[in-house]
């Protein structure tokens, strides 16, 4: 029974006790009265009964007010202090508030002093633990660097197919293949959302039959990318020596290579050779026939000889044209196979500035740089070309200062090498482009034009007569792989933690979902921003943000964030709250395009939200139109807070976060609120366990018993 229930019970008992006392006094007073005395008393009661009832009611009200004051002064502060003390166990920085009587406040001060002492002691222990784990952290960082920089995609799974590790290359392979693939790859997810179960099963069976080794197979993604996958088993650590001939496996590793470009290039080359062969058969046959005729019939007339010689000439020209066309096509194939890398244009300019200054001894400054412009180029060869131009400008025209500029022109990037005061002829520029490069003793058979063409661009010479300046412009394709209309993922650190080997441990996955422990489940914590607060009256979702929790870890790098075009106007009041204007939503996908991708992102997880009834109502109203149903179990931190802290005045997200020592950042943005909710939920898990709420079913049942569970939208 809660404190409010106890107050009501105390008031009822007190009033019943008062009534019993009054009745007992009346009984005792009237027991000895007879005759006229009883008649006088009865008459008096008849005249004063209303007044007596009113006095009794006033006495009850006075008793209620006194009990409520005592409850608020003594009981309620104690209950709040008890809840704050429970929160203090999970969050040592929490302190008891000073409420109630002076004695209670003195007790709170003493408890806070003990908490300060404990926190100092814990800080000392934490310092020693950090020092002891320094070597382990260094090994982990080296491992993270190694995995992060591998050129192949790597995914490690346990025997159930749950992902334990993946690197950035694997993430890029599937993020680039489709939005569904991007949502399917994550810690704790099943690899069978990416590859057919039978392909991996067949590879593992083949490896087992051979007693070890590895196995390859080829798979095609939804977007048509061709992947070559190597599967290798991971032996179980500490296996029995008796089983050394056939060690048990705790999981397997897949190494993934994108073969699409090389396959397309080889297919184009094979097709080129076949076309050249087929198209040359006719001319070669004609040439052979004409040559044999000329050889065998030496006495033919001059007119006939000229006719056969004309055949030889025409067929030779046809073959020459086909060979030239094949050579051009083959050059294009070679150029497509030139290794190109994605890089920020600003990084390329910084490297060029340093290289030109070192090799050519010319000061270089940056004039205008588009910091968000990405290129897909061979950076080293481009640096050679720019340095070569800078050296010739210095040696032949005495240029003493250069400037670099990087701008965008539609789908192209303009990289300009600028100087002042000297113009040159177009013929000179062409010679520079076509001469083999010689730079400070380094010679190369490549020309500037070779390099630019292999990077898919052009080089121009431009004059700015008004400013008395000239420049070489490297026109290169801008790389759009960093953007697009695919759902946004939260910014990824340079070396994020894409692994959790604790998932190797066996879990009780055979239990029903409702019976599984909260600490063992995977969660998707999400939030929405909307046009208003009335989903049943036409308000729409304009942003969805979500993060995942696996093995009690918040995976910030596996975040989902997407703006949505509501296809209706935005009320000014809602824009003031979330800051999302109509210009930000223009061109964004509709809710029908977003929900299937978001449903794939939350697959096989428990949904968590703050005031989840509000967000889920928006999703439920879209089921009929989109055909997407969110039938996963849902936990609400708003209701769980009411379970853990029933005596607190508010269960707003900010108040819960402050109570549990969680920093609130990015409030009223979908992914920001999702991260705060996730951190709050993780703080709640041990507190729920202390209350005996350990499984998903127990948490849902406890939530449904709270008063706030009656709220409907």
Residues 19 and 151 in one domain: no
Handedness of CA 645, 651, 653, 658 (dihedral sign): negative
453 & 428 share domain: yes
Please state the φ and ψ torsions of residue 350, each to the nearest 5 degrees: -60, -45
Residue 500: the pLDDT is: 64
The catalytic residues are 668
Residue 608 domain-assigned? yes
Give pLDDT, residue 465: 82
Task: Decide if 524 contacts 615 (C-beta within 8 A).
Answer: no
Residue 473 is predicted with a pLDDT of 93
Residue 290 belongs to a domain with what CATH number?
1.10.287
CA pair distance 442, 436, nearest whole angstrom: 11
Which residue range forms the structural domain that includes residue 294? 263-336
Contact 163, 186 (CB under 8 A): yes
Tell me whether residue 496 is in a domain: no
- Residue 2 has a pLDDT of 64
Tell whether the torsion through CA atoms of 702, 705, 707 and 709 is positive or negative: positive
492 within domain boundaries: no
Which CATH number do you get for residue 575?
Answer: 3.30.420.10
Domain boundary among 282, 309, 336: 336
- Domain shared by 384 and 409, yes or no: yes
pLDDT score for 174: 80
d(CA 138, CA 49): 87
The domain total for the chain is: 5
The answer to whether residues 304 and 348 belong to one domain is no
Q: How many Cβ atoms sit within 10 Å of the Cβ of residue 438?
A: 12
Q: Are residues 182 and 253 in the same domain?
A: yes
| Whether residue 433 is found in the same domain as residue 580 | no
Q: Are residues 515 and 631 in the same domain?
A: yes
The CATH number given to whatever domain includes residue 222 is 3.30.450.20
How does strand 163-166 pair with strand 215-220?
A: unpaired
Q: Could you tell me if 512 and 651 lie in one domain?
A: yes
Residue 258 host element (H or E):
strand 249-258
Predicted confidence at residue 699, as pLDDT, reads 94
Domain membership of residue 495 (yes or no) is no
Residues 285 and 169 in one domain: no
Q: How far is CA 508 from CA 195, 514, 532, in A?
A: 25, 12, 42
For residue 271, being part of any structural domain is answered with yes
Low-confidence ranges of the chain (pLDDT < 50): 177-179, 240-242, 482-496
88 to 79, 85, 545, 661, 675: CA distances (angstroms): 14, 5, 30, 9, 21
Write the CA distances from 630 to 382, 601, 604, integer angstroms. Answer: 51, 11, 11
Q: How many CA atoms lie within 13 A of 63 on its CB side?
A: 19
- 594 located within any domain: yes
Residues 255, 153: contact at Cβ < 8 Å? yes
**DSSP E strand stretches across 359-516:** 364-369, 374-377, 402-409, 412-420, 438-439, 442-443, 458-464, 469-477
The reported pLDDT for the residue numbered 483 is 40
- Identify the CA nearest to 235 among candidates 504, 499, 503: 504
Out of 336, 359, 377, pick the residue that ends a domain. 336
**What's the CATH number where 395 sits?**
3.30.565.10
Instruction: State both tokens at 592.
Output: 């029908």
Instruction: Judge if 601 and 663 occupy the same domain.
Output: yes
Q: How far is CA 617 from CA 475, 622, 641, in A?
A: 51, 9, 21
Do 526 and 447 share a structural domain? no
| Same-domain status, 525 and 660 | yes
């Amino acid at each position: 029974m809660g404190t409010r229930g106890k107050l009501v019970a105390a008031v009822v008992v007190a009033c019943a006790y008062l009534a019993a006392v009054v009745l007992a006094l009346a009984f005792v007073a009237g027991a000895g009265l007879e005759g006229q005395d009883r008649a006088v008393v009865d008459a008096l009661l008849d005249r004063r009964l209303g007044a007596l009832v009113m006095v009794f009611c006033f006495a009850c009200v006075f008793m209620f007010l006194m009990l409520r004051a005592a409850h608020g002064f003594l009981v309620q502060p104690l209950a709040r202090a008890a809840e704050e003390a429970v929160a203090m166990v999970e969050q040592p920085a929490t302190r008891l508030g000073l409420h109630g009587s002076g004695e209670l406040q003195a007790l709170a001060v003493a408890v806070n002093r003990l908490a300060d002492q404990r926190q100092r002691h814990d800080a000392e222990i934490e310092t020693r633990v950090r020092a002891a784990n320094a070597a382990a952290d260094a090994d982990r960082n080296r491992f993270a660097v190694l995995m992060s920089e591998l050129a192949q995609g790597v995914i490690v799974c346990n025997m159930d197919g749950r992902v334990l590790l993946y690197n950035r290359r694997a993430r890029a392979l599937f993020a680039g293949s489709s939005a569904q693939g991007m949502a399917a790859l994550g810690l704790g997810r099943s690899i069978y959302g990416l590859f057919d179960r039978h392909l991996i099963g067949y590879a593992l069976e083949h490896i087992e039959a051979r007693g070890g080794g590895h196995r390859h197979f080829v798979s095609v993604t939804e977007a048509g990318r061709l992947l070559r996958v190597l599967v290798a088993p991971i032996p179980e650590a500490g296996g029995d020596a008796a089983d050394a001939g056939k060690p048990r496996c705790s999981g397997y590793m897949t190494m993934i290579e994108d073969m699409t470009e090389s396959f397309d290039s080889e297919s184009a080359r094979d097709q080129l050779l076949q076309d050249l062969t087929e198209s040359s058969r006719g001319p070669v046959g004609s040439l052979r026939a004409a040559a044999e005729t000329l050889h065998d019939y030496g006495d033919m007339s001059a007119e006939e000889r000229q006719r056969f010689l004309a055949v030889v000439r025409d067929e030779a020209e046809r073959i020459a044209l086909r060979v030239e066309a094949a050579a051009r096509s083959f050059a294009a194939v070679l150029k497509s196979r030139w290794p190109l890398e994605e890089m920020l244009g600003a990084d390329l300019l910084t490297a060029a500035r340093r290289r030109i200054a070192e090799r050519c001894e010319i000061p270089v400054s940056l004039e205008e740089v588009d910091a968000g412009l990405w290129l897909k180029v061979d950076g080293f060869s481009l640096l050679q070309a720019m340095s070569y131009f800078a050296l010739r400008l210095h040696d032949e025209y005495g240029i003493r200062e250069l400037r670099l500029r990087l701008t965008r022109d539609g789908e192209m990037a303009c990289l300009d090498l600028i100087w002042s005061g000297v113009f040159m002829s177009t013929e000179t520029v062409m010679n520079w482009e076509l001469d083999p490069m010689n730079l400070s003793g380094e010679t190369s058979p490549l020309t500037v034009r070779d390099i630019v063409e292999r990077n898919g661009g052009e080089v121009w010479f431009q004059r700015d007569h008004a400013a008395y300046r000239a420049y070489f412009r490297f026109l290169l394709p801008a790389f759009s792989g960093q953007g697009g209309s695919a759902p946004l993922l939260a910014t990824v650190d340079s070396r994020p933690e894409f692994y959790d080997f604790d998932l190797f441990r066996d879990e009780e996955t055979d239990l029903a979902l409702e019976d599984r422990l909260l600490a063992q489940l995977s969660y998707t914590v999400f939030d929405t921003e909307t046009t208003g607060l009335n989903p049943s009256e036409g308000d729409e979702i304009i942003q969805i943000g979500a993060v995942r929790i696996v093995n009690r870890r918040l995976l910030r790098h596996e975040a989902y964030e997407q703006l949505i075009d509501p296809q209706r106007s935005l009320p000014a009041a809602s824009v003031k709250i979330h800051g999302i204007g109509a210009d930000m939503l223009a061109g964004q996908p509709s809710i029908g395009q977003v929900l299937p991708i978001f449903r794939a992102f939350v697959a096989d997880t428990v949904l968590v939200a703050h005031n989840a009834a509000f967000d889920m109502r928006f999703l439920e109203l879209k089921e009929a139109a989109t055909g997407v149903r969110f039938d996963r179990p849902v936990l609400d931190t708003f209701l769980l807070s009411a379970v853990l802290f029933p005596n607190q005045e508010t269960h707003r997200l900010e108040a819960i976060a402050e109570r549990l020592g969680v920093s609130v950042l990015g409030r009223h943005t979908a992914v920001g609120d999702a991260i705060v909710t996730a951190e709050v939920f993780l703080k709640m898990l041990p507190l729920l366990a202390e209350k005996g709420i350990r499984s998903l079913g127990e948490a849902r049942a406890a939530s449904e018993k709270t008063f706030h569970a009656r709220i409907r939208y």
